[in-house]
Chain A
Amino acid sequence: AQKVTQAQTEISVVEKEDVTLDCVYETRDTTYYLFWYKQPPSGELVFLIRRNSFDEQNEISGRYSWNFQKSTSSFNFTITASQVVDSAVYFCALSEATISGTASKLTFGTGTRLQVTL
């Protein structure tokens, strides 16, 4: 069975600080997909990134970066120079591939609430 652990329940930082959100996953599959979603106070789920298990390259998108390490089963998310608008709940999720190689259902972590203050 697959499992996603986000050990940090809540994080508070002051604006402009860097912050890393941890995500550790468990799966027996060799082909899988990892995701991060943002849920702002308005409640919708906003897709941030998808990574497949064969692509361990780190990715940077503006102030966001992701560090995927298969050796430690981790997919951590860093926000550089945080802003108040980054305040949200962030979810890490895992999807195992079906036999045909397509993604199946998502398993979510419990989320990390990030509070960025002035």
Chain B
Amino acid sequence: DAEITQSPRHKITETGRQVTLACHQTWNHNNMFWYRQDLGHGLRLIHYSYGVHDTNKGEVSDGYSVSRSNTEDLPLTLESAASSQTSVYFCASSESQGSTGYTFGSGTRLTVV
């Protein structure tokens, strides 16, 4: 069965370190998204991609980067982790034609100490 997986599920890192969160989907979806979830803010868009080599900034992109070298993967990199980036991160994918819905990963809980 097709799926979308995020790894790791939990991560603790130190301030200033570079961290990469993985997102892999086997739906063959062109669209992929990264969100962060914080209490009182719901889910906010960090970066998104509509296809290979396409990346776009979302509303809270500062301090984050993504790259899309193939259809299946959209890794999210925190260049220099800050305590304000402690959050739960969700990856999602969707078809580019129609809008049958978005499939979300199980989330990565990141703690920056």
Q: Shortest Cβ distance from B53 into chain A, in angstroms? A: 18
Q: How large is the interface on A (under 10, 10 to 19, 20 to 34, 35 or more residues)?
A: 20 to 34
Asked if A108 is at the interface of the complex by the 8 Å CB criterion, the answer is yes
Interface of B is mostly: strand
Binding site for B on A (CB under 8 A): 6, 33, 35, 37, 43-45, 47, 50, 52, 91, 93, 95, 97, 102-111
A44 engages B106 (CB within 8 Å): yes
Q: Shortest Cβ distance from A111 into chain B, in angstroms? A: 5
B96 engages A105 (CB within 8 Å): no
**Chain B contacts of A37 at CB under 8 A?**
104
Asked if B97 is at the interface of the complex by the 8 Å CB criterion, the answer is yes
**Chain A contacts of B45 at CB under 8 A?**
105-107
How many Å lie between the Cα of A109 and that of B35 in the bound state? Answer: 13
How many Å lie between the Cα of A37 and that of B45 in the bound state? Answer: 16
